Amino acid sequence: MSAPAVDSSRERSSLLFLFRLIPPRADFAQTMTDAEQYAMARHMAYWQELLAAGRVVVYGPVADPEGVWGLGVLRVADRAEALAI
């Protein structure tokens, strides 16, 4: 998969924010209920939309031995925009 083109003027005037998304329990990735699986599918679709819009640099799960968690790097104009996401 190739990364979407991002307007270079946005890159110059933006900040990067790292998000660590912590699941509700250590074995969440392996024991999700049907409702949690649905919520995670929507969550992934949302992050994919942000990636396509050039607002996300990278995102995905981290295979930590203590439990899987999520990582996302956002490209935004300011802290308020990062918090809004």
pLDDT of residue 5: 54
pLDDT of residue 4: 54
Alpha-carbon separation of residue 37 from 14, 19, 79 (angstroms): 33, 21, 30
List, for residues 44-79, the tens digit of each pLDDT value: 999 999 999 999 999 999 999 999 999 999 999 999
DSSP-assigned states of every residue in 36-53: HHHHHHHHHHHHHHHHHT
- The answer to whether 28 touches 67, Cβ cutoff 8 Å, is yes
Note the pTM of the prediction, 2 decimals: 0.75
Q: How are beta strands 15-21 and 56-62 bridged, if at all?
A: unpaired
**Taking 90 as the threshold, does the pLDDT of residue 9 lie above it?**
no
List, for residues 15-33, the tens digit of each pLDDT value: 999 999 999 998 999 999 9
